[in-house]
Structure 1
Amino acid sequence: MSNRPISDFIEKYYLHFNAAALVDASKGYVAHLKDGGKMMITLAGAMSTAELGKILAEMIRQDKVAIISCTGANLEEDLMNLVAHSHYKRVSNYRDLTPQEEWDLLEKGLNRVTDTCIPEEEAFRRLQKHIYEIWKDAEAKEERYFPHEYMYKMLLSGVLEQYYEIPKENSWMLAAAEKNLPIVVPGWEDSTMGNIFASYCIKGDLKSSTVKSGIEYMTYLADWYRNNCEGKGVGFFQIGGGIAGDFPICVVPMLYQDLEMHDVPFWSYFCQISDSTTSYGSYSGAVPNEKITWGKLDIHTPKFIVESDATICAPLMFTYILENS
């Protein structure tokens, strides 16, 4: 029996078009790691609600990812799935729902993400009371942390263990917290937890300065990149588009152009899984070569784009990487 069954399967059948791009990008990822490179993974969309944590957590545990950039939604939705999975509702006919049926879901406290409804009371509120106490405690001590650091504190404190409804090894956030993995969360303010935090600020319960800002995330990333770009350098594996990818990739031109650090290398590997297209000026769908003109990628940077569904492709690619590196 082969010890690399997924690799054998895709190498046998994934020979052309997007399938071949998936194999080439996976091999490029493995080669980058074997040459001593590090990798950033960026998460857009609802990848945590899609339960990517089942495989991403193992990527983290096996040191196949050095840093993550994600939306605030992906940060919190992994925890929501961890503590309220049995209360989620799957709606397989989501394309056919009427406005009245959507309203009925709202009245039941079910917030729909494509075919999956997140239970507001069990998911959001179970986290809210605990994260509020951690925010409040930090403010009383005049301490400030990033959004992901507050999540780490909550996870590592053990207060959520009473709610766990999935095997803890399937939570990528728990795996990240245990390794203290660097995370960048641009635009955290538009997440549910960001909205909740803003509501406390409006009520005067908390100060906005208690949570570090996006600008501070960029300076944090700049320091991290400079400390980790020697040798083979840092690769960029982008799932989807949006701010999770747009924000961190700009750290290189900022260092090179704005800070005039001309010894800072470009990203040394690039792959994007996306079904976006360039026909409407979509940045998320831009081919990698366009990033050369912005000072993000070098002419010689290995570049891949898999124009497909990340919920299908990412687990296959991560499994290939785990089997071969």
Structure 2
Amino acid sequence: MNVRDFVEHHYRHFNAAALKDAAHGYAAHIDAGGRMLVTLAGAMSTAELGLSLAEMIRAGKVSAICCTGANLEEDVFNLVAHDHYKRLPNYRDLTPEQEKELEDQGLNRVTDTCIPEEQAFRAIENEILELWQEAEAAGERRFPHEFLFDLVSKKLDPSSFHIDPKDSWLVAAAEKNLPMFVPGWEDSTLGNIFVSHAYRGNVNSIGTVKSGLEYMDALIRWYLATTKSCATNPSDPGVGFFQIGGGIAGDFPICVVPLIHQDMGDPCPYWGYFCQISDSTTSYGSYSGAVPNEKISWGKLEPKTPKFVIESDATIVAPLIFAHVLGW
């Protein structure tokens, strides 16, 4: 029994049924000619979501990605340093003193997985610095993901990769030159490293790397171009929104629709599909846990938009949905 058949037979109620329904909705949206924006929050790259997401990109099931700076860079770290990662199944039992020992060893813990400072961050620092410096010398300003695309496709030696590059979603995205939006990149290790080099004068202008506001401008242009056909083809379902986790990776891009039709005063289609995988609940003003209907009041979704919420662990749910959509 393959994954799709397993889900079809066993996933019948509650979050399991929501997972199956969301997978059906995703496939139906794509099959009808729609496009899908996928958002990545949390530590999805360190969770090695690339094992399934990369194939979704190659299969044309993902039209664009909005992710945190951490997810952008951590896929590269996994690519070049996977063999040096350390897994800690007993992470819940660690004492503050043991956590300090991890810091002393250069092991940065993400739940049960430690990212090695020297083999991950420092191993690519010189190469990414060269790209920043080359852009500055040429008078170019580029987005964070454009530097990372060049890093994995031009600077790094594939023979040094610790995993098969087909399992890296960033490599797949770079090969397709997939539209990418990375708000809040400064809240990442490479963002910190960039500022440290700018502070020391190794890069003269912080403006060499474009900002989140410029990403929003790029997102407006991408959304309008991608939904242009909706005006002449009423059956075109437009762009769907598949949100993994909460936070800025989801909050930032979903706002482009009300920005266009409320702030700019221009007509545009609402998001044509919505699914969120999150363990956040609706309480005390939590936007990440808000039910989709709240987004209707903000001009992001329509009452008729297919909407799905799966309250579960995204590291479990997202690969199952991707496998279902891919027919694995």
Counterpart for residue 247 of structure 2: 242
TM-score scaled by structure 1? Answer: 0.97
Deviation at residue 158 of structure 1 after TM alignment: 4.4
What SS class does the counterpart of residue 16 from structure 2 fall into? helix
User: In the alignment, is the contact (CA less than 8 A) between 1:154 and 1:160 conserved in 2?
Assistant: no
CA distance in 2, matches of 1:239, 1:32: 18
TM-score scaled by structure 2? Answer: 0.96
1:51 aligns with 2:55: no
Q: 2:214 aligns with which of 210, 213, 216?
A: 216
CA RMSD between the two structures: 0.9
Can you give the 5+ residue segments of structure 2 that lack an aligned partner in the other structure? Answer: 231-235
Task: Return the letter of the residue paired with 1:256.
Answer: H
Counterpart for residue 233 of structure 1: 238
Task: Return the letter of the residue paired with 2:312.
Answer: S
Q: 1:275 aligns with which of 268, 273, 279?
A: 279
Can you give the 5+ residue segments of structure 1 that lack an aligned partner in the other structure? Answer: none
Deviation at residue 280 of structure 1 after TM alignment: 2.2
- What are the residue-to-residue correspondences of 1:108-147 with 2, within 5 Å? 108-147=105-144
Q: 1:35 aligns with which of 14, 29, 32?
A: 32
- What are the residue-to-residue correspondences of 1:160-309 with 2, within 5 Å? 160-206=157-203, 207-229=205-227, 230=230, 231-262=236-267, 264-309=268-313
Counterpart for residue 155 of structure 1: 152
What SS class does the counterpart of residue 308 from structure 1 fall into? coil
What SS class does the counterpart of residue 213 from structure 2 fall into? helix
CA distance in 2, matches of 1:184, 1:163: 28
Deviation at residue 159 of structure 1 after TM alignment: 2.4
Deviation at residue 282 of structure 1 after TM alignment: 0.7
Identity of matched residues, %: 62
- What are the residue-to-residue correspondences of 1:53-132 with 2, within 5 Å? 53-132=50-129
What SS class does the counterpart of residue 137 from structure 1 fall into? helix
User: In the alignment, is the contact (CA less than 8 A) between 2:127 and 2:155 conserved in 1?
Assistant: no
Deviation at residue 260 of structure 1 after TM alignment: 0.3
CA distance in 1, matches of 2:198, 2:269: 40
